[in-house]
């Protein structure tokens, strides 16, 4: 094994790597934290909800750091990274309840809030966090398949996800050799659908799942694997990995 291969192998291992998951207190982010911790990584789970952060710390492991940050506030994000210190990988999975509906009925204030969290907060996290990422580290953002295969009523979701994909490619160029990639999930069982009743959610999961090539909607554990892959491999950058059960093909 050559020295370069040995170095690449050492960098790709998550053991003892310090990984920050913004939005890691629930859903996909929590699953990423759990899977990375199982590989020996040191996790920092950050969210705006103190109770959920504490629950996540207990779930992931006692060695996990739990931190509070207001992702709607640039000053809070700046101060957060100033206090955090150096780390190896930044994962951004923060998101709020998805809004579906036609343009005529769209609440523009709520639409702007969606961009604030899913796009502007991600941009701010990269702005203030990237100088603290160690050599061989990476950034993994979160987008979604709405931009690639929008349905009626998905204008807002398609806009946000398309913006994040463009941001991912641009950041990969600007921040090189720091790697920047993104994961694009399809429909997943998460609390992002909490604005629906349990009956409505179950019906949606069933209806969507039976039309997918894999026959079911995604689980957070399915999606988390893609984030770990992008952190561990050392050659891809500016890429968006789609994990959607075949939704973009049907």
Would residue 87 count as lying in a domain?
Answer: yes
The two tokens of residue 91 are 């994962």
How many Å apart are CA 139 and CA 126, to the nearest integer?
8
What pLDDT was estimated at residue 5?
Answer: 46
How large is the average pLDDT for residues 15-29?
96
Query: What SS3 state is found at 106?
Result: coil
Domain count, the chain: 1
Is it the case that residue 8 has pLDDT exceeding 60?
Answer: no
Q: Is residue 249 part of a domain?
A: no
Q: What is the DSSP letter of 62?
A: T
Q: Is residue 119 part of a domain?
A: yes
Nearest to 63 by CA among 103, 18, 96, 23: 18
- In this predicted model, what pLDDT tens digit does every residue of 42-88 receive, in sequence order? 999 999 999 999 999 999 987 899 999 999 999 999 999 999 999 99
pLDDT digits (tens, 9 = 90+) for 121-137: 999 999 999 999 999 99
Instruction: Dump pLDDT digits (tens) for 153-168.
Output: 889 889 999 999 999 9
Is position 250 within any domain?
Answer: no
In a domain, 40, yes or no: yes
Please tell me the distance from the alpha carbon of residue 212 to that of residue 244, in angstroms, as a whole number: 8
Residues 6+ apart with CB under 8 A from 190: 26, 27, 28, 220
CATH number of the domain that residue 113 is part of: 3.40.50.720
Least confident interval from 5-14, 30-39, 141-150? 5-14
Secondary structure of residue 61 in the 3-state scheme = coil
**Residue 248 maps to a domain:** no
Residue 56 three-state SS: helix
DSSP sequence for 219-231: -HHHHHHHHHHHH
Q: Is residue 74 part of a domain?
A: yes
Q: Range of 58's domain?
A: 3-243
């Amino acid at each position: 094994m050559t020295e370069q291969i040995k170095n690449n192998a050492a960098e790709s291992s998550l053991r003892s790597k310090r990984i920050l998951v913004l939005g890691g207190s629930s859903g996909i982010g929590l699953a990423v934290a759990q899977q990375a911790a199982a590989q020996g990584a040191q996790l920092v789970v950050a969210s705006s909800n103190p109770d959920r952060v504490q629950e996540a710390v207990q779930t992931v492991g006692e060695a996990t750091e739990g931190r509070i940050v207001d992702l709607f506030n640039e000053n809070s994000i700046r101060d957060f990274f100033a206090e955090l210190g150096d780390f190896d990988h930044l994962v951004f999975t923060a998101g709020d309840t998805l809004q579906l509906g036609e343009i005529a009925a769209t609440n523009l204030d709520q639409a702007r809030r969606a961009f604030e969290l899913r796009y502007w907060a991600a941009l701010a996290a990269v702005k203030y966090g990237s100088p603290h990422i160690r050599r061989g580290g990476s950034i993994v953002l979160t987008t979604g398949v709405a931009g690639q295969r929008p349905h009626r009523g998905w204008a807002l979701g398609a806009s946000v996800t398309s913006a994040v994909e463009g941001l991912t490619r641009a950041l990969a160029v600007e921040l090189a050799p720091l790697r920047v990639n993104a994961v694009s999930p399809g429909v997943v069982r998460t609390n992002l659908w909490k604005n629906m009743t349990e009956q409505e959610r179950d019906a949606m999961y069933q209806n969507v799942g039976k039309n997918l090539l894999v026959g079911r909607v995604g689980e957070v554990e399915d999606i988390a694997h893609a984030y770990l892959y992008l952190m561990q491999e050392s050659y891809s950058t500016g890429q968006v990995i789609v994990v959607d059960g075949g939704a973009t093909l049907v």
